[in-house]
Amino acid sequence: MKRGQNSNQVVYPGSFDPITMGHVDIIRRLSKSFDRVVVLVANNAQKKFLFTAEERKELILKALKGTDNLKVDVFAGLTVDYMKQKKIDKIVRGLRAVVDFEYEMTMANINRRLAPNIETLLVFASPEYYYVSSRGVKEVALNGGALKGLVPDCVRKPLREKIKTSKKE
């Protein structure tokens, strides 16, 4: 560990469009093992999001209210650049199924090439959330399905409203 590193912090990056119960589960579990968990909300102009970056940040903060060691940041650019700026050397990626592994391994190797001192930790989703994805949740909402247990309670209403608005556009 290099001097000046924030050794017991971890960055959990993603789009969180919207945050799901799977995300919440991983963040809560991380918060028990690290002094600080930084949830890094992607703000990529090339990608079309349902919620703005600031809306996603607010939903995360509401969903994880009471998690004292949580920080939520918005960042446009490479996660490793954010981590270098903040002197954090551990990134966490969640795995739901074997299909996620290949993509996450590729990303971990790219990140290692860009920033050799940053370590990628893979955390498996709890079995009850293996099937939950933001994309799947949006599909359920789009078709009027039940969202209970898929997203935090504070996300259900804003998600339905965004879906309704996006259908009109």
97 band by pLDDT with thresholds 50, 70 and 90: confident
Structure tokens at 131: 């099937």
Instruction: For tokens 């990140």, name the residue.
Output: 111
Beta bridge partners of 24: none
* Two tokens, residue 88: 């954090």
- Mean pLDDT calculated for residue range 43-62: 93
Separation of alpha carbons 134 and 127, rounded Å: 16
Band the pLDDT of 148: cuts 50, 70, 90.
very high
Which CATH code is given to the segment(s) 9-168?
Answer: 3.40.50.620
Question: Can you give the pLDDT at residue 1?
Answer: 38
Residue 47 confidence (pLDDT): 85
List the domain boundaries for the chain: 9-168
Top-confidence residue, 45 or 153:
153
Catalytic residue numbers, as ranges: 23, 47, 96, 134
